[in-house]
Amino acid sequence: MEKGRNYTLHIWRQPSAKVKGKFKTYKVENISPGSSFLEMLDILNNELEQKGEDPVHFDHDCREGICGTCSLFINGRPHGPEKEITACQLHMRSFPDGMDITIEPWRASAFPVIKDLVVDRSAFDRIMQAGGYVSIRTGGVPDANAIPIPKENADLAMDAAQCIGCGACVAACKNASAMLFVSAKISQLSLLPQGDVERSKRAKAMIKQMDDEGFGACTNTGACEAECPKGISLSNIARMNREFMRSAVVD
């Protein structure tokens, strides 16, 4: 059995959005390399609670890499050092014994800190409400082949639909841009016939809401794609721009 590892954690502690935060240092010992990053934080929190101290607050839900909740900025990277995984899928074997680990929340004015490592990402919800939906008649489930869709479009739509809305793209961008997220949602719907009903206004509405929420402009550095846990392609941003121009012309 592999020996447990020891780490020094520098964690951002902030009691509320109205109180200035600061880093606080903790030691964790004998952590199994097979433990997930969130399990390591659970161990720390158990120790803090036993001491009567306030545990570190962080977001988590499915712990299976599909919900996008675990928004942690780890040693300067969203979701940590591994590629195309979320923080809940990150294991301590990725960190050498004795390493210092800095853990922060997403840093963006559109994602205000609620407490410690928890941020308010409801801005994404409002962007989706602005146009990330389809209004079609509901009823019985249609036959699978009732609406022919070219395979290339179906594949591209499914690739875009993998976006889990975690916000890593915003955290990675020096302008805190949400364009990769918004473009993935626009692409997912614009590539399929079901999205035609709102197509003429979708891009304009979602981009306007994105700007109103305070997200920055695209930097064209590609940091968002590099840090996206689902590998969403930058090509979606180009498609979003085309959809925006189309909306302007149709309108």
Q: Are residues 129 and 64 in the same domain?
A: no
Q: Are residues 66 and 173 in the same domain?
A: no
Q: Which residues in the chain show pLDDT less than 50?
A: none
Q: Which pLDDT belongs to residue 138?
A: 67
Q: Are residues 141 and 185 in the same domain?
A: yes
Q: Is 99 exposed, middle or buried (0-12, 13-18, 19+ CB in 10 A)?
A: middle
- Provide the CA 25 distance to its chain's centre, in angstroms: 26
Q: Are residues 93 and 49 in the same domain?
A: yes
Q: Which pLDDT belongs to residue 81?
A: 97
Q: How far apart are CA 187 and CA 184, in angstroms?
A: 5
CA dihedral 235, 241, 243, 248 (to 10 degrees): -170
Host H or E run for residue 113 = strand 113-115
Q: What pLDDT digit, counting tens, does each position of 116-162 carry?
A: 999 999 999 999 999 999 887 767 777 767 888 899 999 999 999 99
Q: What proportion of the chain, given as a percentage, has pLDDT over 90?
A: 88
In this structure, are residues 157 and 88 in contact, taking their beta carbons and an 8 Å threshold?
A: no
Residue that is written with structure tokens 């918004």 in the block: 182
In this structure, are residues 216 and 176 in contact, taking their beta carbons and an 8 Å threshold?
A: yes
Number of independent structural domains in the chain: 2
- Provide the CA 71 distance to its chain's centre, in angstroms: 6
Q: Is the dihedral of CA 191, 153, 235, 173 positive or negative?
A: positive
Q: Which pLDDT belongs to residue 41?
A: 98
Confirm whether 74 is domain-assigned.
Answer: yes
Q: Are residues 36 and 94 in the same domain?
A: yes
CATH of the domain at 127: 1.10.1060.10
The dihedrals phi and psi of 189, each to the nearest 5 degrees, come to -90, -35
- Residue numbers of the domain that contains 210: 121-250
Q: Is 25 exposed, middle or buried (0-12, 13-18, 19+ CB in 10 A)?
A: exposed
CATH of the domain at 63: 3.10.20.30
The token duo for 40 is: 């390591």
